[in-house]
């Protein structure tokens, strides 16, 4: 009867192999089923004017203070909408559209920066998982060699027990971390949904 550790190891090795082959065959570090979009554009999130390249929002104290509030995921969309409404009401009517355009420019740039941090983190995670997968594969080869010697070599049997324990622990760590990947992959999508909601809310206060 197979040793229980060996069963766990074989199952784990199958998981590892599938992950490694899946990412390396495509030659990329992006592990999510969601399509990777490197940069979000204003045209994707509202029907207002393009705001790429606008940086004047940095010089507007009210906008610069409001943007971290709007882009924080700790702030509900409803709270963000109320803050946008208050900001719009404080603007002179003839300058309101321009102020709101700059507000969205700052929101878009900030969201892109924050989202890039998340995307880079996911890709670094995938790189670490790939390195772990290769290490587990190496351990599997070493265990196979030890098993061949273990029939006649007591030292090899002792080494095999140690190798199996380490192998199964590493497989467990790899698998648990891999199971957290879908949640991480949802974060860019949640950021995009928030940006769309903010753009729609800002747009409702504009005349043109």
The tens-digit pLDDT sequence of the chain (208 residues) is: 344 444 444 555 555 555 555 555 555 789 999 999 989 999 999 999 999 999 999 999 999 999 999 999 999 999 999 999 999 999 999 999 999 999 999 999 999 999 999 999 999 999 999 999 999 999 999 999 988 888 888 898 899 999 999 999 999 999 999 999 999 999 999 999 999 999 999 999 998 8
Whole-number pLDDT of residue 19: 55
For 45, 46, 66, 98, the CA distances from 197, given in Å and listed in that order, are 8, 9, 16, 19
Q: Give yes or no for a contact between 39 and 112, defined as CB atoms under 8 angstroms apart.
A: yes
- Show the beta-strand stretches assigned E in the chain: none
Please state whether the predicted TM-score (pTM) of the whole model is above 0.85: no
Whole-number pLDDT of residue 4: 42
Whole-number pLDDT of residue 24: 58
Number of other CB atoms surrounding residue 101 within 10 Å: 22
Residue whose C-alpha is closest to residue 135's, from 184, 173, 180: 173
**Three-state secondary-structure class, residue 39:** coil
92 token code pair: 């002179």
Whole-number pLDDT of residue 7: 42
81 token code pair: 């909408």
Instruction: Kindly state the DSSP code that residue 36 receives in the 8-state scheme.
Output: P
Whole-number pLDDT of residue 14: 55
């Amino acid at each position: 009867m197979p040793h229980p550790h060996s069963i766990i190891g074989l199952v784990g090795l199958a998981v590892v192999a599938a992950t490694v082959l899946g990412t390396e065959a495509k030659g990329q570090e992006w592990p999510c089923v969601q399509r990777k979009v490197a940069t979000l554009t204003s045209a994707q999130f509202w029907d207002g004017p393009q705001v790429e390249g606008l940086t004047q929002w940095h010089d507007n104290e009210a906008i610069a203070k409001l943007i971290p509030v709007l882009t924080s995921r700790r702030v509900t969309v409803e709270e963000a909408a109320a803050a946008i409404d208050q900001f719009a009401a404080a603007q002179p009517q003839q300058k309101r559209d321009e102020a709101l355009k700059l507000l969205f420019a700052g929101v878009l740039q900030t969201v892109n920066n924050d989202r890039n941090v998340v995307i880079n983190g996911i890709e670094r995670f995938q790189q670490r998982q790939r390195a772990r997968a290769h290490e587990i594969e190496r351990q599997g080869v070493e265990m196979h060699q030890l098993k061949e010697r273990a029939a006649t070599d007591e030292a090899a049997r002792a080494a095999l027990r140690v190798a199996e324990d380490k192998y199964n622990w590493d497989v467990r760590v790899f698998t648990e971390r891999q199971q957290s990947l879908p949640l991480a992959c949802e974060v860019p999508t949640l950021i995009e949904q928030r940006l769309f909601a903010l753009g729609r809310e800002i747009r409702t206060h504009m005349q043109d």
